[in-house]
Amino acid sequence: MKELSKEEISPLSSLEVWEDDVLKRYPEPGTPAKAKEEFRNYDSPEIDSVREFYRLNHKYQTYDNVLAKKANFLKFDKMEMPWWTAMEYLNTLIDDSDPDISLDQLQHLLQTAEAIRADGHPDWFVLTGFIHDLGKVLCLFGEPQWNVVGDSFPVGCKFSDKIVYPEFFADNPDSKDERYNTKYGVYTHQCGLNEVQMSWGHDEYLYQITRDYLPEPALYMIRYHSFYSQHREKAYDHLLNAHDQEMFKWVDKFNPYDLYSKSPKPPVVAELKPYYEDLIAKYLPATVKL
């Protein structure tokens, strides 16, 4: 791939712009949704940056890109630190120039986890809410935003028109490659998602970090929480097997906490830290290798 410009690395003012865009596309149940046409035609710099983000994401998220990123980042040789320190490390992603961002990443994750805990879910579910965005540290390793966040989707087969801004896939070389541009591509009917390469980003990265430590439902939540074209549109039922369908019930349970738990009232980190450090110690090793 050619060397990327600053604008191609960071088309969004912050990663939260993508998350806000997801909220607009998938509002809380009971809230009227805007028509797709209306949403995509907002006349604002923010929406222009979202469109540019997805143009780059859809152009460069290829099958070969995914394999290359896995070969690089799944060595886990970038750094090692205690889990809580890694969560605090995420705070350096905050863009101080963005006046709409008042909560740091750690506070958002605590809000997600606390909402899950308040509803009486198992403690591994609470822990999943707390760490689910840790993979965003990829940005701090120089990864462009479109290789860190964004709606995730399978590569190696035809891109669904249910993915946001599907028209931008016209610039993706895989869309013209006969190995990858058919309904099944390199896969077979209901082969199971474990056989499917997903677009690279924070979901897949954290899944690979935690795959040996957390219950399977937690791993599905982490790995597929941005796979909106499936858990909202069912666009890839032909690749999921029966086990995937059962596990996706957990993804559906997790999704509202991820999307709708944000509140302007910050959690008291010092009060919550002992509980979450104990929870981390119960399920995870003392340090995380990134």
The single-letter DSSP state of residue 34 is P
pTM above 0.85, yes or no: yes
In a domain, 42, yes or no: yes
- Give the chain's largest Cα–Cα span: 56
Nearest to 176 by CA among 68, 53, 62, 54: 62
Evaluate whether residue 178 is within a structural domain.
Answer: yes
Query: Is 94 inside any structural domain?
Result: yes
Contact 169, 175 (CB under 8 A): yes
Question: Nearest 5°: CA angle at 41, between 35 and 43?
Answer: 135
Per DSSP, the three-state class of 81 is strand
Note whether residue 23 is domain-resident.
yes
- Given this model, what pLDDT does residue 48 score? 87
Structure tokens at 143: 């990864």
Domain of residue 12 covers 6-289
Predicted pLDDT at 216: 98
Q: What is the pLDDT of residue 32?
A: 53
For the chain (length 290 residues), average pLDDT per consecutive 10? 86 88 86 46 64 97 98 97 93 52 77 96 98 95 95 98 97 98 98 98 98 98 97 96 98 94 84 97 98
Residue 243: per-residue pLDDT: 98
Q: Tell me what pLDDT residue 31 has.
A: 62
**DSSP 8-state symbol, 286:** S
pLDDT at 203: 98
What are the angstrom distances between the C-alpha of 113 and each of 21, 39, 94, 100, 220? 22, 30, 20, 22, 16
Q: How many structural domains does the chain have? A: 1
In a domain, 1, yes or no: no
Length of the chain, in residues: 290
Domain-embedded: residue 133:
yes
The conformation of residue 289, written as its DSSP 8-state character, comes to E
Q: How many CB atoms lie within 10 A of CB 147?
A: 24
The answer to whether position 242 is within a domain reads: yes
pLDDT at 103: 66
- In this prediction, residue 46 carries a pLDDT of 60
- For residue 259, tell me if it sits in a domain: yes
pLDDT on residue 41: 39
Question: What pLDDT is recorded for position 262?
Answer: 77
Phi, psi of 154 (to 5 degrees): -70, 145
Q: Which two tokens stand for residue 173?
A: 């070389």
